Amino acid sequence: MTTGREWWRTAVIYQIYPRSFADADGDGIGDLKGITSRLPALAELGVDAVWLSPFFLSPQRDAGYDVADYTRVDPLFGTMRDFDQLLEAAHALDLRVIVDMVPNHTSSDHKWFREALASPPRSAERDRYIFRDGKGPGGDRPPNNWQSVFGGSMWDRLTGEDGLPEQWYLHIFDSSQPDLNWENPWVRERFKDVLRFWLDRGVDGFRVDVAHGMIKQAGLPDYRPPKSGASMGGEADDPPYWGQDGVHEIWREWHELLAEYPGDRVLCAEAWVGPLTKMALWVRPDEMHQAFNFDYMFAGWSAKDQRRVIDESIAAFSAVGAPATWVLSNHDVIRHASRLALGADSPQGDGIGPTSKGKPDPVVGLRRARAASALMLALPGGAYLYQGEELGLPEVIELPDAARQDPTWFRTKGEKYGRDGCRVPIPWEASAPAYGFSPTGAAWLPQPEEWAVYARDRQEGVTGSTLALYEDALRLRRTRRLGAGAVEWLPEFARSSTVVAFSNRDVTVVANLGMRSVTLPEGRVLLESAPTTIGANGKRMLPADATAWLG
Ligand code: GLC
């Protein structure tokens, strides 16, 4: 295992989405044994850690982000023994393992919710969740106007045993994901038990789901949303259910609990709040260790936007003593090999499908994605990769309606495609069934016919492949210690409208976001996301939408 304190400050963490990574038992859904069998490929890639999206017992209404038991492995993914083996195999390969903790809500199948339903209003069991009487005559109207992130009201009404309508319960996401009441000490204690359960097993930390949502504004007041309606968050004026001050007390308690354990365990926040200076509150020294940088993820593909977000990120995170983090893709957003070729008015976060306007050009998308990733991996701090981006995978746009599974698609009645397009099982071997994802050829979301070209075995050892680009970048990042370096803008490009250029330690990084080739400064090319050429002036040129590292 990488030694040294606070390994996470410079780590590259690879997100595994278990359903779609590798399927050992052939049922078309990835599993823990599948992950274990493919870990050597990740060690070769050169990442420091993996983060596993949820594999806990769940009815899978939101692909496992609806947990029915936090301390059991869903049989869909295997057994606890499979998990222990995965952990052991990862550690033997020098890879740390972070698991996903989903504390904002449980599944409606969770024992705690069932007990709440079986208990009368205002009972201790109901107080574990957020139950309220409705408004108006007969309590027929929901307690407030909040809209679910996945569409529709955030409230659902119960029907009593006598068949009469009863209280309402709150769910920020799907109606099968009731929100827990984090004002209740009982809930807090139960989660400490859960954290200890996994820490005792040896996990290296937790990615914490919806770490900005657990405390709601007192009195649950109505919200007047900005015109786009509810989203994953990030609006300047946070709604009464996002980013409330009370969440920080929880993170301080979790921080203390992790600190009791040896080995530098880590908490990483999924907190969709803005601006960056606010998000940095989640990573103050006594709270979480890292937070995903969603401002960076959604920054425009322009030199000005990129420089601004890099400067703002480093300033905001370093003001609280935390490392900056960088991320371009995950299981909730359009893959960056497609997103970076979408116009500014194209839908983001909510998916893209056959009838969406403004389809991304795949060639432009991949070129930009490679340039963006090469830029990101040269930045100091931590970085997150999402499975398949090292293969250059695009978003799958042409998924048949009948195959879609994201609750967003159902709750918005098809108005939003949702996130299935970034969750399609990844290709390992070009000529194997399901591209090597599953021995039987089954795949829970259909893989496109043209995906053979992205298969890992087609890219291994191939100069110029996206896989080789990531491997080279990760190796250089490690040997040149870029994670612990600093960004210094090259003065000659500091105001350029097309070029982002900086040095980090002894590496000079130049990204060309414009339409024309640019002349590179002197230096040997260490890495290039697209082939550099020699121009008429005899100097080395960097083509459009490309990044080079010189040193
Ligand atoms: C987070 C997850 C997302 C999930 C939601 C509800 O945003 O990343 O996939 O649907 O929380 O748990």
Query: Per residue in 390-438, pLDDT tens?
Result: 999 999 999 999 999 999 999 999 999 999 999 999 999 999 999 999 9
Q: What pLDDT is recorded for position 346?
A: 59
Q: Measuring from atom 2 of ligand 1, which residue has the nearest CA?
A: 209
Q: In what order do the strands lie in the sheet with 525-528?
A: 488-489, 499-504, 507-512, 546-550, 525-528
Q: What pLDDT is recorded for position 450?
A: 96
**Is the Cβ atom of 66 under 6 angstroms away from ligand 1?**
no
**Is the Cβ atom of 102 under 6 angstroms away from ligand 1?**
yes
Residue among 195, 191, 237, 198 nearest 214 (CA): 191
Centroid of ligand 1 to alpha carbon of 410 (angstroms): 16
> 278: which 2 tokens?
């606010």
Centroid of ligand 1 to alpha carbon of 546 (angstroms): 32
Mean pLDDT of 134-156: 96
Instruction: Give the separation between CA 314 and CA 309, rounded to whole angstroms.
Output: 8
- Mutating to test ligand 1, I would choose from 61, 209, 231 the residue with most ligand atoms within 8 A of its C-beta, which is 209
Decide if 257 contacts 195 (C-beta within 8 A): yes
Centroid of ligand 1 to alpha carbon of 146 (angstroms): 18
Q: What's the Cα-to-Cα distance from 204 to each of 140, 267, 522, rounded to whole Å? A: 47, 9, 42
pLDDT in tens, 2-13: 445 899 999 999
Q: What's the Cα-to-Cα distance from 133 to each of 130, 141, 169, 197, rounded to whole Å? A: 10, 9, 9, 36
Give the confidence band of 232 by pLDDT, cuts at 50, 70, 90.
Answer: low
Q: What pLDDT is recorded for position 13?
A: 98
Q: What pLDDT is recorded for position 345?
A: 61
**Is the Cβ atom of 62 under 6 angstroms away from ligand 1?**
yes
**Is the Cβ atom of 179 under 6 angstroms away from ligand 1?**
no
**Is the Cβ atom of 420 under 6 angstroms away from ligand 1?**
no
Q: What pLDDT is recorded for position 349?
A: 63
**Is the Cβ atom of 406 under 6 angstroms away from ligand 1?**
no
- Residue percentage of the chain with pLDDT more than 70: 96
> 151: which 2 tokens?
């569409």
Q: What pLDDT is recorded for position 358?
A: 83
Check pLDDT > 90 for residue 230. no
- Mutating to test ligand 1, I would choose from 19, 154, 173, 406 the residue with most ligand atoms within 8 A of its C-beta, which is 173
Q: What pLDDT is recorded for position 267?
A: 98
Atom of ligand 1 nearest to the CA of 150: 10
Give the confidence band of 229 by pLDDT, cuts at 50, 70, 90.
Answer: very low
Mean pLDDT of 311-331: 98
The strand pairing partners of 153, in sequence order, are: 147
Centroid of ligand 1 to alpha carbon of 210 (angstroms): 7
Atom of ligand 1 nearest to the CA of 104: 12
Decide if 223 contacts 239 (C-beta within 8 A): yes
**Is the Cβ atom of 173 under 6 angstroms away from ligand 1?**
yes
> 37: which 2 tokens?
């069998």
Check pLDDT > 90 for residue 350. no
Q: What pLDDT is recorded for position 117?
A: 97
pLDDT in tens, 169-184: 999 999 999 999 999 9
The strand pairing partners of 205, in sequence order, are: 98, 266
Atom of ligand 1 nearest to the CA of 174: 6
Instruction: Give the separation between CA 73 and CA 61, rounded to whole angstroms.
Output: 16
Centroid of ligand 1 to alpha carbon of 537 (angstroms): 52
Q: What pLDDT is recorded for position 2?
A: 47
For the ranges 34-43, 188-197, 349-358, the lowest mean pLDDT is seen at: 349-358
Residues annotated as catalytic are 209, 260
Strands (E) located in 238-375: 266-269, 290-291, 325-327
Q: What pLDDT is recorded for position 224?
A: 84
**Is the Cβ atom of 332 under 6 angstroms away from ligand 1?**
yes
Check pLDDT > 60 for residue 90. yes
Centroid of ligand 1 to alpha carbon of 425 (angstroms): 18
pLDDT in tens, 277-296: 999 999 999 999 999 999 99
What value does the mean pLDDT of the chain take? 95
**Is the Cβ atom of 210 under 6 angstroms away from ligand 1?**
yes
**Is the Cβ atom of 209 under 6 angstroms away from ligand 1?**
yes
Q: What pLDDT is recorded for position 227?
A: 63
The strand pairing partners of 73, in sequence order, are: 56
Centroid of ligand 1 to alpha carbon of 268 (angstroms): 14
Cis status of the peptide bond prior to 275, with omega within 30 of 0: yes
Give the confidence band of 460 by pLDDT, cuts at 50, 70, 90.
Answer: very high
Give the confidence band of 344 by pLDDT, cuts at 50, 70, 90.
Answer: low
Check pLDDT > 70 for residue 231. no
